[in-house]
Chain A
Amino acid sequence: MSSLIKIDETTVGTPANRINITDVFSADYDTYCIQVTNTLAGTQRENNSMDIQLINSSDSVITDTIYDSEMIFARGFSVSYLAVGGASRNEIGILYHDNGAQNGNGNMIMWVFNPFQSDTYTYQVQQSSGRMSYPSTTEIPYMSKGLGVLRQQSSITGYSFVNRDSYNINLGTFRTYGLKVD
C-alpha cells in the first residue's frame, strides 16, 4: 500500500469566491501533498489568481499578514522569470488561472509541512502550471515554483483558496494526501 494516503477530494460544485478545505490536517501526518487541478475563474482578468491561506483549529481563515511567500514565475510572453512575493503577506502562496474564454487553467502540487503541530511554523513548497492572461486578454502558459511559511506557532487544520477581486472560482479539484511515516 502506498505511503501517500488520500484524505479528501473536493470539487467545486457551485462557483464561489473562496473555497475552504477544512479538517484535513491532523496529528496523523506531518507532511501533506495537495494536488490542485483544472481551476477556472468566473471572470477574466489580467494576472488572475487565487491566494492560498490556512485555516486554524477554530475553522477561521488566517488572513493576517503573518505569511512569507516567494516564487519564481515564468510567463509565456517573456524569457525572464518574475519574482513574486515577499515578507509579511496575507497568503502562503498564489495559484494563477483565468476564465474559460481565455482557456484559463490552474494546476499545482504543494507539499505542506507540520501544519497541525502547534509548536512549529507551517511551511510549503509548490510548483504550478497553467494558462492565464497577460497582458490584458492575451492567453499565455505559465509555470511557477515557490515556497512559503506561516510565521505562527498554531495548529492548522485546513486551507483556503480565494480569488482576487472577489471573482468566483468556477471549477477546480482539490485533493489532499497525508504522507505516512511508519
Chain B
Amino acid sequence: MGLKQIASETVTSATSSVDLIGTTTDDCYMIVVNGYIPTSDAADLRARVLESSTPNTTANYDRAFLAIRTDTTYSNQSNTNETYYDLTTAVGNSTGEQMNGIMYIYNANDSNEFTYITAENSQLSHTALLIGNQGSAVFTSDSQVNGIRLYPNTGTIASGTFTLYQIEQ
C-alpha cells in the first residue's frame, strides 16, 4: 500500500476554488490541505463533490463532527441536507493563522454508493483560537464522484497547497 499523488494545486494568488479531480478507482483517497489562508478573515473552507468534474450543489451533505478547541470543552456539531460540507470554523488570516488538515474519501467512484468522508484538521480562527473539526460527512446520493471542490464561503483562497492522493492497494 502506498500513496500516489493524483492532483495538486498550490495557490499563491487569490483563487475562488480548487478542484481536485481523479477519484476514478474504488480505492480510498486522501486530501491534504496545507496552509489554507483565506483572503477574507473568518472564512470557512467548504467542500463539494464533483460529478463529471461539476460540483453538486444539491442539499445532500450531512456531517457529524467534534469541534475541539482550547477556549472551552469540545462541542458536537452536526448538520443534514446542506448544500456543502463545511470543514472549518472561521479561519483567520492574520500572522500565523491558517488551516491544515487531512481528509479521507470513501466510495467516491462507486455509482451505487454514497460518498463518505472522514476529516481532521487544525486551525487558528480569526480570533487566533485553536480549533480542530474532527469527524465525518456523507454525500447522500448514489453517484459517481470524480473529485472534490474546495472553496471558501466568502472571498477567495489567498494561499495553500491542496493535494489529492490515491491510497493504492
Min CB distance, A65 to chain B, in Å? 13
| Residues of B in contact with A (beta carbons under 8 Å apart) | 2-5, 8, 10, 32, 34-35, 66, 68-71, 73-74, 95-96, 98, 100-102, 120-124, 130, 132, 134, 161, 163, 165, 168
Query: A121 contacts B98, CB within 8 Å?
Result: yes
Decide: A147 near B130, CB < 8 A? Known: A3-B3, A121-B98.
yes
A12 at the interface (CB under 8 A from B): no
State the 4 A-B residue pairs at the shortest beta-carbon distance, nearest first. A2-B2, A147-B132, A113-B100, A147-B122
Q: How far does the alpha carbon of A2 sit from the alpha carbon of B167 in the complex, in Å?
A: 9
Query: A123 contacts B100, CB within 8 Å?
Result: yes
What residues of chain A lie closer than 8 Å to B69, measured between beta carbons? 70
Query: A70 contacts B163, CB within 8 Å?
Result: no
Q: How far does the alpha carbon of A148 sit from the alpha carbon of B130 in the complex, in Å?
A: 7
Min CB distance, B163 to chain A, in Å? 5
Task: Determine the residue in chain A with the shortest Cβ distance to B96.
Answer: A121
What residues of chain B lie closer than 8 Å to A69, measured between beta carbons? 70, 130
**Residue in contact with B4 in the complex, picked from A3, A121, A146, A181, CB distance below 8 Å:** A3
What residues of chain A lie closer than 8 Å to B71, measured between beta carbons? 87
Q: How far does the alpha carbon of A145 sit from the alpha carbon of B120 in the complex, in Å?
A: 9
Chain A stretch 116-153: residues in CB contact (< 8 A) with chain B: 120-121, 123-125, 127, 145-149, 151, 153
Query: B100 contacts A125, CB within 8 Å?
Result: yes
Query: B8 contacts A182, CB within 8 Å?
Result: yes
What residues of chain B lie closer than 8 Å to A145, measured between beta carbons? 66, 68, 120, 134
| Residues of A in contact with B (beta carbons under 8 Å apart) | 1-4, 30-31, 68-72, 81, 83, 85-87, 111, 113-114, 120-121, 123-125, 127, 145-149, 151, 153, 179-182
**Residue in contact with A71 in the complex, picked from B3, B8, B68, CB distance below 8 Å:** B68
Pick 17 A–B contacts, CB within 8 A, sort by A.
A3-B3, A70-B68, A113-B35, A113-B100, A114-B35, A114-B100, A121-B124, A123-B100, A125-B101, A125-B102, A125-B132, A125-B134, A127-B120, A147-B121, A148-B130, A179-B32, A181-B161
Query: B122 contacts A113, CB within 8 Å?
Result: yes
What residues of chain B lie closer than 8 Å to A81, measured between beta carbons? 66, 74
Q: How far does the alpha carbon of A69 sit from the alpha carbon of B3 in the complex, in Å?
A: 28
Query: B68 contacts A147, CB within 8 Å?
Result: yes
What residues of chain A lie closer than 8 Å to B134, measured between beta carbons? 72, 125, 145, 147
**Residue in contact with A83 in the complex, picked from B8, B73, B96, CB distance below 8 Å:** B73
**Residue in contact with A68 in the complex, picked from B10, B32, B66, B70, CB distance below 8 Å:** B70
What residues of chain A lie closer than 8 Å to B73, measured between beta carbons? 83
Q: How far does the alpha carbon of A103 sit from the alpha carbon of B132 in the complex, in Å?
A: 31
